[in-house]
Amino acid sequence: RRVEDKLYQNRYLVDPGRPHISVRKHLFPSQNLIALTQVCPAKCYQLNDRRQVIIVSDGCLECGTCNVLCGPDGDIKWTYPQGGFGVLFKFG
């Protein structure tokens, strides 16, 4: 079974207007920041038309990979969603 099929079973509750991850403002992204567009399993990071990295954190799996690469005092600001929001894993 493909991992995408399993990810599809998760549910994500969006906390409107309160994204739990943000990318710090930058003119040119660092190598690590660019890497997030490849390594995030939920494909939350993308390049915009000015070649800056943006995030849409809906669907984030809270795996922490981006925080290891670019946090806590690096290119992103990462916190867990507040209680009740975020990913709801389905096991089994």
Query: How many angstroms separate the CA atoms of 20 and 77, rounded?
Result: 8
Q: Which of 23, 33, 44, 53 binds ligand SF4 (CB under 6 A)?
A: 44
Q: What residues contact 62, with CB distance under 8 A and at least 6 apart?
A: 80, 81, 86, 87
- Is residue 41 a contact residue for ligand SF4 (CB under 6 A)? yes
Instruction: Report, in Å, the least distance between residue 56 CB and ligand SF4.
Output: 9
- Let me know: does 61 contact 6? Beta carbons within 8 Å: no
Which one of 4-12, 27-35, 46-54, 62-70 is the stretch in contact with ligand SF4 (CB under 6 A)?
A: 62-70
Instruction: Report, in Å, the least distance between residue 30 CB and ligand SF4.
Output: 16
